[in-house]
A and B are shown apart, each in its own frame.
Chain A
Amino acid sequence: MAMQDCLLKIKGISLEFSGTPILKSVNLSLNQGEIHALVGENGAGKSSLFKCILGIISPSQGEIIFLNESLSGYPIREILRKGIAMIHQELMLIPELTVAENIFLGRESIAGKRMGLREINEATSDLFQEYELDIPVGAFVKDLSIAHQQIIEIMRSVSQKACLILMDEPTSSLTEKEVIFFKQLIFRLKSEGISIVFTSHKMDEVFGFSDKISVLRDGEMVGTFSKVEVNPMSLVQKMVGREMKDFYPKALSEVGQQILRVDDLSCVPHFEHVNFTLCAGEVLGLSGLVGAGRSDIGQVLFGIKKKTSGQMSLKGQAYNPENPSEALQAGLGYLGEDRKEMGIIPEMNITENMSLGLLDTYRKFFFVDQTRESADSIDMQAQLSIHSAKEGQRIQNLSGGNQQKVLFGRILLNNPEVLILDEPTRGIDVMSKFEIYTLILALKKQGKAILLISSDLPELLAMSDRVIVISKGKQMAEMTREEASPEKILEYALH
């Protein structure tokens, strides 16, 4: 490797946080124009490593060398100026400003020259033309899709002449189609000599995008591999540090009686004329692009949104929930797509979060029967192997995987017959994913009817007995597990 090719070299970085080691002597090197995937479970130290590179936190040991210059001691502002940029998971744009204004935010004057609105619009148009982007420069950021917002953040980095872009789970909220575009974009950046380090929990992206893959586990660098040295299975093993026989557990169980039936259900403008049935002990996968209306189907079933026409029936009886509370009483359970928005109550602890939907059953006169409540919660925590550092810990301090398990606990306490799971494994670590798959299969075996909504195609195909594909609010196809394949599903979904 020639010296000038080496863009970034991390030498023995260690980091401690109040006595707990976060990073242990991590080494990493990156060439110009390289796309590098950084994988590891949640809490393995990926974000901390990014923060060290950006100078947000300073490591206790080691050195980071960027373009043959040590970065230690420089403040964030200086490091950004040297050409390192970061795309955070939560995008950092100003929704009330236009695309162009966001791209030039804080740089309205360049080299002493003031940039007026016309100048920044022109400069942005030129930039977008160069990258063949079809986004109006005068549009307000709040009116754009998440994917477009992300592209704008990337373009901001490009316009700042960044030569290293760090991306924290860039694809976690993108649809399949957007991911394809995203891939083209980062390959374009690569051809311009820009290096990218990204994190992802999705194996097809890790292998599809990157030149090299580095694995972090518990703050230690397990190693850097080229794509030919590893496969998804062995990579997961390196991430969790032990062998997993099959990532998607299998359990065959009898499909029982029909429980839920949906006839010609519409919720304009989200979806129209949807028909399906769901039986006990069955997992029905609902596939489609984000925004195609999948989540809305789940929300209508759970009484969060109102249907505009059509029928739903539960065990032969007409079923029309006015609100989630009625759906809960009818025996449904719902796990929302966005854990932060629709799931957790951040300030509350595990037990309070779990019992929230069922407090009326823990009522003793006006009071909460805390003995029974905490006994049930402890039971459920053991059943779902929820790990918390200390009793009464707030849910916001748990890992994503543990938060998700608490929300499963909330559903299961009610002992529902039908479960609607919208993206149950989004943004959680590999180990928790595996546990949730195992749990879904156990529930299936108990005879629960499960509607699984997921953007993760391998997951959907492995878990479902049947798959329904939705595109632009219309039901495109229904197929059995045997008939279904990623290609077929995508074909219908993109239709």
Chain B
Amino acid sequence: MKELKAFFTKSPTGGIFLALMLVCVLFSSMTSRFLTTTNLSVILNQVSVNAILAFGVTFVIIAGGIDLSLGSLVAVCGVVVALLSQNNDYSLWLAIIGTLVAGLALGALNGIIVVLTKVPPFIVTLGTMTIGRGMALILSKGRPISDLNESLNFLGNGDLFGIPIPILFLVLSYGTCHLLLTKTVFGRYVKAIGGNEMASYVAGVRVNRIKLYVYMISGLFAALAGILLTARINTGQPNAGLGFELDAIAAVIIGGTSTRGGKGTITGTLLGVLFIGVINNGLDLINVSAYWQQVIMGGIIILAVVLDGLYQKLKMNI
């Protein structure tokens, strides 16, 4: 009981956890189809791509930056993995590794421009977002790429020990990112430069290097998300991933990561992703029209952040 109270009052993710539970209770009371093992598995499967993107961009946002190119990177990497695994030209492993390297390189491009030009990351990644979309169209010649290696399809739709592969990737990514942020030297540096860049530099942190790394991580996870998406729909779509960056960033913010940098958690991001996923799923189940879903979703995102702000203030007085 004490631990439970401590979780809600001390942990930075207590607020969003409470909100998530609340919407779950709400939807379960409205429809019996919500709280079933199948449906929960569907939700996890649906959010896996957004979750993986959001984990990666959490590092960028905590370091005080932003990455708007995510959706485009998903498209480019989705096209790249499709091209590499078309007609079984290369082995699947090579295709995957090649795509991840491409993601790292595109992330590094973001990072290098941010570090060298000192142009705000918002502008830089707005630019690379457009560049990325163009590259996806160039590489695919504007057409969907099909006839992919069958083992790739397995990554998107298969399961291992009864657990869908995308969910396994979600869990694995969560664990890796959580450890990276909370336990490693790198994670500490990310929080430090987000908290006070100048002070970190003076304290001896290689600020530029760390900034480059966070964009590379963001690119790497965008590549992973691109692979999973292509695997799921079994085609490389140059128009895939439109607006994905906004969903990912929304999840990070709902999860309690400060837009000004310096603080945030991967667990919070996961809860943010689930929050968005549960609402999308629940609204579907209770037959809300797709148009209204968008209106409701936007309202809920704002409400969640406002309530979290109030909750944090309340917590201070406990």
Contacts and interface: CB of A to CB of B under 8 A. Distances in A.
Contact of B199 (A344, A362, A367): A344
Given A343-B202, A356-B203, A368 B196 contact: no
Interface string B73-106: 0000000000000000000000000000000000
Given A342-B199, A359-B188, A328 B183 contact: no
A18 B317 CA distance: 9
Interface in A358-373: 358-360, 362-363, 366-368
A323 B195 CA distance: 20
B316 to A, nearest CB: 10
B263 interface: yes
A162 to B, nearest CB: 33
A345 B204 contact: no
A170 to B, nearest CB: 26
Size bin of chain B's contact surface: 20 to 34
Interface string B182-206: 0111101101100110111111111
A323 B206 contact: yes
Given A344-B196, A347-B262, A348-B195, A360 B203 contact: no
Given A324-B204, A348-B191, A366 B199 contact: no
Nearest to B208: A323
A347 B185 contact: no
Nearest to B186: A366
A341 interface: yes
Given A342-B198, A345-B195, A345-B196, A367 B203 contact: no
Given A345-B192, A348-B192, A356-B192, A334 B202 contact: yes
Interface in B16-58: none
A347 B202 contact: no
B185 A368 contact: yes
A346 B196 contact: yes
A143 B262 CA distance: 30
Contacts of B188: 352, 356, 359, 368
A327 B202 CA distance: 10
A336 B262 CA distance: 20
Nearest to A361: B185
Contacts of A358: 204
Contacts of A302: 202
Contacts of A356: 188, 192, 200, 203-205
A325 interface: yes
A420 to B, nearest CB: 11
A65 interface: no
Contacts of B317: 18
B203 A341 contact: no
Size bin of chain A's contact surface: 20 to 34
A304 interface: yes
A426 interface: no
Contacts of A341: 196, 198-199
A345 to B, nearest CB: 4
A345 B199 CA distance: 7
Interface in B153-204: 180, 183-186, 188-189, 191-192, 195-196, 198-204
- B184, B198, B200, B202, most chain A CB atoms within 10 A: B202
Contact of A324 (B192, B201, B262, B263): B201
Given A345-B195, A347-B263, A348-B195, A357 B203 contact: yes
B262 A367 contact: no
Contacts of B204: 324-325, 327-328, 356-358
A410 interface: yes
B158 to A, nearest CB: 31
A366 B189 CA distance: 12
Given A347-B191, A352-B188, A363-B185, A304 B262 contact: no
Interface in B279-318: 317
Nearest to A359: B185
- B180, B188, B262, most chain A CB atoms within 10 A: B188
A366 B203 contact: no
Contacts of B262: 345-347
A346 B203 contact: no
A334 B188 CA distance: 21
Interface string A295-327: 000000010100000000000000000011101
B195 to A, nearest CB: 4
Interface in B213-269: 262-263
Contacts of B180: 366
A332 to B, nearest CB: 10
- A302, A327, A346, most chain B CB atoms within 10 A: A346
Nearest to A345: B195
Contacts of B202: 302, 304, 324, 334, 336, 342-343
Contacts of A344: 196, 199
- A325, A343, A410, most chain B CB atoms within 10 A: A325
Contacts of A352: 188, 192
Contacts of B195: 345-348
Contacts of A336: 199, 202
Nearest to B261: A347
Nearest to B316: A18
Contacts of B192: 345, 348, 352, 356
A484 B195 CA distance: 42
Given A341-B198, A356-B200, A325 B206 contact: yes
Contacts of B198: 341-342
A272 to B, nearest CB: 24
A325 B205 contact: yes
Contact of B183 (A346, A357, A368): A368
B189 A359 contact: yes
Interface in A392-412: 410
- B183, B186, B192, most chain A CB atoms within 10 A: B192
A343 B201 CA distance: 10
Contacts of A362: 185
* Shortest Cβ-Cβ A-B pairs, 8 listed: A357-B204, A345-B195, A328-B204, A357-B203, A325-B204, A356-B203, A366-B184, A347-B262
Given A325-B205, A336-B202, A347-B191, 12 more contacts: A336-B199, A341-B199, A342-B199, A343-B202, A345-B192, A345-B199, A346-B262, A359-B185, A360-B185, A362-B185, A366-B186, A367-B183
Interface of A: 18, 302, 304, 323-325, 327-328, 334, 336, 341-348, 352, 356-360, 362-363, 366-368, 410
10 contacts: A304-B202, A323-B201, A346-B195, A348-B195, A352-B188, A359-B188, A362-B185, A366-B186, A368-B183, A368-B184
